[in-house]
Structure 1
Amino acid sequence: TPSEERDQWYGLAGASQNAGIGIGSFIAGLLVAQTGGLGYSLLVIANALSFFLAASLLIFSPHTTPHSHLKSSQPMNYRAVFQDHPFLAFTAVNVIFALGSILLSVGLPLYCVIALHMPAWIIGSLLACNTVLLATMQTLLVQRLKPYRRTRVLALAGGLWAGWCLLYAFALIIPPILRLPYLFGATCLYTLAELLHAPTSNALAAEASPEMLRGRYLALFQMAFSLASILTPVLFTFLFTLSPSLPWLSGGMLLLCASIAMYVLERYLPVQAVRGVNFTEP
């Protein structure tokens, strides 16, 4: 993929994924509601067929081979990846960003029902709002981000996530009659951060990695999301038992620190990866 198109394609992939999640959830709920137990069996079969279709598309899609001038004597193993300290630092920072991304789905159900004493249907409404905005706004926003440095877009995303965490922590003192619109507004702030982070972080990771080692670089980068998905439920549950607001306050502080770290890290990452092709100083 050409460098100038990476953000756009990652944005399109994210929008397609969220559209699939939203449409699939709606169809699944409707099918189970109408057919009961049979609906679950039909969903499993349809899901299996969709995986076969996806695998077939990958198998029969055209593959390109590296050009001869890309060959180098650089070791083709993970040692070279672990020697790239700026990329390792970027991956470590992205663990915290990934924690912010996962925090909504992990923390909202427990916080909404137990701490805020709100009905369970609000959880689905907030998550649905997030999914719809991600599916419809991703490609539009990516076009607006092209002139800006990717590192600064990520720093802004972390700052927005930190603000979202702070707003969620203050939900405890909001009058009950105002909590629903308050949470919707705060969730929109979370969604904006996710819209900024998802395509930009992936494009930066791909652009910062040497082409011959890109698969290994991106594999390490994706481990940030796996690690965050393991740590987030454990940390949230532990902190929630101490105080319902503590997970959000702690998460906000971590995300703010990650934003600052991302800004500092800018000077150590490849200039082309940071700026992209169509860069103009904001």
Structure 2
Amino acid sequence: MTLSDALGLPHTRGRVPLVLAQLVDALGTGLFLPFAVVYFHAAKGIPLATVGVMLSVAALLSLPAGPLAGPLIDRFGPRRVVVASNLVRVLTFSGYVFTDVPWQLVVLVTVTLWGESQFRPAAAALVAQVADGGQRARWYAMDRALRNVGFGAGGLLGSALVGWGGSPGYTAVVVFNAVSFLVAAALVAAWSRAAAPVASGPGPAPGGDGPAPGRAGYREVLADRAFRGVLVTVAVFGLCDLALTVLLSAYVIEARGLPAWQPGTLFALNTLLVVLGQTAVARAVEHRRRTRVLQAAALLWTVSFGLFAVVPGEHGALAFAVLALGMVVFTAAELLQAPTSSALTVAMAGERLRGRYLGLEELMWGLARVLAPALFTWLLAKGPGLPWLALGLCCLAAVGVLCRLDRVLPAHVRRETVGG
């Protein structure tokens, strides 16, 4: 067994530019993401309340982007859509530098989110094309680990730039992010599938950029009863994932009155566990059935939410110990779910409709991103444990849906394992 196999890494021979593009893209995004709200407030002088409205409006306006990406991916191929979505974000981030007018920034943020919403399904479809047989989950796991490395490194570099340069530092962060998207687009555009060896095994061979044979619309996709069940689980898992970024800090600091250092430490723990464990976990479960792995993820999330809900606010050390244990269980659920969900969607889609299937998956994530802030804060105002109770019940419902999927999935998909 080679070292890469022991670590759960996929075969990357002939695909190194794609791996570098993933890392560069994540590094640039990590530069800007922690400062998105404060950039518009501190560097552009826009009130925080207005910034919040701007970002919410942009998120709503970008909801159709995922489904509209589907036909583009199926017609033009995922590589071209990945390149185009990166170039769109080069333009929008460059535009941030030259305007401080709120309505113009809303337009730019909306177009940015359209680019992001088209990038994600296109990148997932590109992985499905280039992965060797049985290695899709490894590729999705490596992508997530690289993104966490990039986010962490980008966040540290962004903090240094802002701390060193003040307002010009914010501008430097935006410019560097635009450059990162340009470099990532160039790497993907320059990559040639001829450089990759022919895949072996039961999975699909690496594909190219040409349109999928045959055309079909979303009516055919929505007629897939099993996939409608998968979309329900995607929405639930999206809410679970967003609980970390949207809910946890407010819960720890505001609802429980715990020290402000605790959420940052918990986020760091999550990032470290993902970077160290994602590919190894993907390797460990690649011979397990996908629905079983997702059921395990949902149950683990339920346990983690239960731990978060019982955190004692009056005992700081004990509270942090419970939160840390809950974060370990939460991350274990993430490590199981993240590579498995995309692999299941790709397996159900087949090549002809892959873009549309992934486009609807992106729509579910978009709906979760719109719903989560309002839902979580409303529940938190009603009672500190209510958001976690609601999420736990949603996870148990997802387990029931996944049990039913085992009976209605096509036989070849039901038999396939996480590795594909």
TM (normalized to structure 1)? 0.91
Deviation, structure 1 residue 174: 7.0
In structure 1, distance between residues paired with 2:168 and 2:378? 39
The answer as to whether partners of 1:147 and 1:278 remain within 8 angstroms in 2 is yes
Deviation, structure 1 residue 38: 2.8
Cα deviation digits, residues 40-70 of structure 1 (max 9, x gap): 1221111110011112223233362569xx8
In structure 2, distance between residues paired with 1:277 and 1:137? 20
In structure 2, distance between residues paired with 1:13 and 1:199? 9
Residue of structure 1 in register with 2:377 after alignment: 237
Structure 1 position 198 matched with structure 2 position 338: yes
Which of the numbers 47, 51, 61 marks the counterpart of 2:177? 47
The structure with the largest helix share of the pair is: 1
SS at match of 1:148: coil
Output aligned runs, 1:1-282, within 5 Å: 1-62=131-192, 64=208, 71-72=213-214, 75-172=215-312, 175-276=315-416
Greater RCO structure (CA 8 Å; 6+ sep): 1
The answer as to whether partners of 1:12 and 1:138 remain within 8 angstroms in 2 is yes
SS at match of 1:208: helix
In structure 2, distance between residues paired with 1:107 and 1:38? 31
Deviation, structure 1 residue 21: 0.7
Deviation, structure 1 residue 173: 6.2
In structure 1, distance between residues paired with 2:252 and 2:418? 43
In structure 1, distance between residues paired with 2:274 and 2:301? 15
* Higher mean C-alpha deviation, range 93-102 or range 193-202: 93-102
The answer as to whether partners of 1:4 and 1:276 remain within 8 angstroms in 2 is no
Deviation, structure 1 residue 31: 2.5
The answer as to whether partners of 1:3 and 1:207 remain within 8 angstroms in 2 is no
The answer as to whether partners of 1:22 and 1:132 remain within 8 angstroms in 2 is no
In structure 2, distance between residues paired with 1:221 and 1:17? 19
SS at match of 2:384: coil
The answer as to whether partners of 1:115 and 1:172 remain within 8 angstroms in 2 is no
Deviation, structure 1 residue 246: 0.6
The answer as to whether partners of 1:149 and 1:274 remain within 8 angstroms in 2 is yes
Cα deviation digits, residues 127-172 of structure 1 (max 9, x gap): 1111111112111111100121110100110111111111111114
The answer as to whether partners of 2:293 and 2:340 remain within 8 angstroms in 1 is yes
The answer as to whether partners of 2:297 and 2:334 remain within 8 angstroms in 1 is yes
The answer as to whether partners of 1:18 and 1:135 remain within 8 angstroms in 2 is yes
Percent of counterpart pairs with the same letter? Answer: 35
Cα deviation digits, residues 176-225 of structure 1 (max 9, x gap): 33111221111111001000000000011101112111111111112121
One-letter code aligned to 2:154? G
SS at match of 1:55: helix
In structure 1, distance between residues paired with 2:369 and 2:276? 25
The answer as to whether partners of 2:274 and 2:331 remain within 8 angstroms in 1 is yes
One-letter code aligned to 2:345? A
SS at match of 1:28: helix
* Higher mean C-alpha deviation, range 29-38 or range 91-100: 29-38
One-letter code aligned to 1:163? V
In structure 1, distance between residues paired with 2:133 and 2:231? 20
One-letter code aligned to 1:272? H
In structure 2, distance between residues paired with 1:248 and 1:77? 38
SS at match of 2:287: coil
